[in-house]
């Protein structure tokens, strides 16, 4: 009996053991399956995270691309002679472009009173729009001296240029509207960080007016190494300040019409040729040839201005030469037109403000980035010298007197520090030496920027 019970218990244990082992095997199989599923889920989750990250990167790139199309970053390059900030809209393939520049000046002149002045000289905003890759609008709006009140010593708000531009190809583009006259270097290429001196050279303010713009249309382009611009615009007309400006040595500043109800019975032609040589050397000539008229459009005379130039920017050097040679027919009529003394109108030419028959001058600039010599590549420190020599009244009409101070020499030395290519801190000294007039020693500081 006991033996039977023992055998029965043994078989029962075996019978129980077999299902238990099977269950353990099944559980182990389920665990392995679960582990595999968990691993798959982890891998899928990892892939999902990678996809999410890639999607976020793509979204950010698209956002940047949209911003770049709407407001492209400024590159230091020129479009048809314009400065980098002014060129921004013309390089943009589509949409809106916003740029600008500004400068603040401090002057110490012990020969004048007050001796010290600080001036928010100008703030400029560029607005442009690319309708497509070929048809574009560009404009420049300027605020001078911080605010405008309408008084004599107030600042100014002005449209510096506003034109429609259509580029067929590199060889030919058309431009129409309020355009910059392409004479000299500074009139078109005038953002403060692009030249080393605190202010624009005297010759490109007093002989070649700044900022010189007129209403008209024309063509531009590049034929291999030759760049050209050619415009037809309204002619010149003296305004009520023309006589005063001539007496102060600013020869043509009072003759610009600036797009304000411009009298255009007399027209003008202006143009420019630049030939690009190796090592970024550019040589060329520019000119303006047009009629001078009164407010009713009656012709007073003709003014012809020719300006050769050389510009070399290479290996840390910025070397420039700009000349100017001008002749005028009808200078006697122009002199009477700009004179406010009644005796001049009665025939006493000695009482007239004299406008010249001939004027000329030049300046030369030598600047070098000394940080380049010190192998500092992320900043620039230009040391420069500029010499200017011009004569506003080399020849005058018979019976008219040459004004004092017409022959001028300018010595200008200084530094321009750029912590960033678009920002400049400048300091210079100017020895302004007119013949037969009081010499001036001017110390200047400036903060300038563009974007």
Q: Are 365 and 194 contacting, i.e. CB atoms less than 8 angstroms apart? A: no
Residue spans per domain, the chain: 71-450
pLDDT: which is higher, 16 or 429: 429
Per-residue pLDDT tens digits for 97-149: 999 999 999 999 998 999 999 999 999 999 999 999 999 999 999 999 998 87
Residue by residue, DSSP assigns 404-434 as: TT-EEEEEEEEEEEEEETTEEEEEEEEEEEE
Q: Are 427 and 413 contacting, i.e. CB atoms less than 8 angstroms apart? A: no
What is the pTM (predicted TM-score) of this model? Answer: 0.84
Tokens of 113: 């009173």
CA 352 to chain centre: 39
Per-residue pLDDT tens digits for 268-323: 999 999 999 999 999 999 999 999 999 999 999 999 999 999 999 999 999 999 99
Give dist(CA 348, CA 341) in Å, integer.
Answer: 10
pLDDT score, position 63? 64
pLDDT score, position 193? 98
Residue 184 in this model has a pLDDT that exceeds 50:
yes
pLDDT score, position 264? 96
Give dist(CA 415, CA 421) in Å, integer.
Answer: 15
Q: Please report which confidence band the pLDDT of residue 152 belongs to, taking 50, 70 and 90 as the band edges.
A: low
In which residue are the tokens 């037809």 written? 232
Using alpha carbons only, how large is the chain's radius of gyration in Å? 36
pLDDT score, position 6? 46
Of the candidate CATH numbers 2.40.160.10, 2.40.50.140, 3.40.140.10, 3.40.190.10, the domain formed by 71-450 belongs to: 2.40.160.10
Q: Are 249 and 392 contacting, i.e. CB atoms less than 8 angstroms apart? A: yes
pLDDT score, position 21? 74
pLDDT score, position 25? 79
pLDDT score, position 66? 57
Q: Average pLDDT for residues 159-175, to the nearest whole number?
A: 98
Q: Please report which confidence band the pLDDT of residue 33 belongs to, taking 50, 70 and 90 as the band edges.
A: confident
**Which three-class secondary structure state does DSSP give residue 292?**
strand
Q: Are 139 and 96 contacting, i.e. CB atoms less than 8 angstroms apart? A: no
How many C-beta neighbours within 10 Å does residue 22 have? 10
Residue 14 in this model has a pLDDT that exceeds 50:
no
pLDDT score, position 26? 77
Residue 392 in this model has a pLDDT that exceeds 50:
yes
Q: Average pLDDT for residues 182-206, to the nearest whole number?
A: 98
Q: Average pLDDT for residues 87-104, to the nearest whole number?
A: 96
Per-residue pLDDT tens digits for 341-381: 999 988 899 999 999 999 999 999 999 999 999 999 999 99
Percent of the chain with pLDDT over 70: 92
Mean pLDDT of the chain: 91
């Amino acid at each position: 009996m006991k033996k039977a019970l023992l055998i029965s218990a043994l078989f029962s244990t075996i019978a129980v053991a077999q299902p238990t082992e099977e269950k353990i095997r099944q559980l182990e199989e389920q665990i392995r399956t679960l582990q595999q599923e968990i691993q798959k889920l982890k891998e899928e989750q990892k892939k999902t995270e990678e996809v999410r990250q890639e999607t976020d990167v793509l979204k950010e790139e698209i956002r940047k691309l949209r911003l770049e199309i709407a407001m492209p970053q400024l590159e230091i390059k020129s479009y048809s002679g314009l400065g980098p900030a002014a060129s921004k809209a013309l390089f943009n393939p589509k949409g809106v472009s916003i740029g600008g520049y500004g400068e603040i000046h401090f002057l110490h002149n012990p020969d004048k009173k007050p001796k010290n002045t600080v001036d928010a000289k100008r703030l400029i905003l560029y607005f442009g729009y690319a309708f497509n890759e070929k048809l574009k609008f560009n404009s420049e709006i300027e605020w001078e001296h911080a605010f405008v009140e309408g008084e004599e010593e107030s600042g100014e708000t002005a449209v510096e240029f506003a034109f429609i531009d259509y580029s067929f190809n590199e060889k030919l583009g058309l431009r129409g509207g309020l355009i910059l006259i392409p004479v000299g270097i500074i009139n078109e290429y005038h953002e403060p960080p692009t030249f080393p001196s605190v202010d624009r050279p005297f010759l490109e303010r007093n002989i070649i007016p700044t900022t010189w713009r007129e209403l008209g249309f024309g063509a531009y382009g590049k034929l291999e190494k030759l760049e050209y611009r050619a415009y037809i615009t309204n002619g010149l007309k003296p305004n009520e300040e023309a006589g005063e400006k001539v007496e102060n040595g600013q020869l043509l500043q009072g003759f610009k019409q600036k797009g304000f109800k411009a009298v255009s019975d007399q027209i003008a032609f202006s143009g420019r040729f630049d030939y690009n040589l190796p090592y970024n050397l550019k040589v060329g000539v520019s000119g303006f040839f047009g009629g001078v008229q009164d407010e009713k459009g009656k012709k007073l005379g003709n003014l012809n201005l020719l300006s050769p130039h050389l510009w070399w920017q290479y290996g840390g050097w910025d070397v420039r030469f700009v000349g100017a040679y001008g002749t005028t027919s009808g200078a006697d009529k122009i002199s009477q037109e700009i004179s406010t003394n009644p005796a001049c109108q009665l025939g006493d030419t000695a009482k007239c403000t004299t406008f010249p028959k001939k004027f000329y001058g030049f300046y030369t600039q030598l600047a070098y980035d000394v940080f380049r010599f010190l192998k500092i590549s992320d900043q620039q420190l230009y040391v420069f010298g500029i010499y200017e020599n011009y004569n506003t009244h080399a020849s005058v009409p018979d019976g008219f007197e040459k004004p004092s101070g017409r022959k001028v020499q300018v010595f200008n030395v200084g530094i321009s520090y750029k912590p960033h290519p678009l920002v400049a801190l400048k300091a210079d000294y100017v020895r302004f030496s007119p013949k037969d007039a009081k010499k001036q020693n001017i110390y200047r500081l400036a903060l300038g920027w563009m974007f």
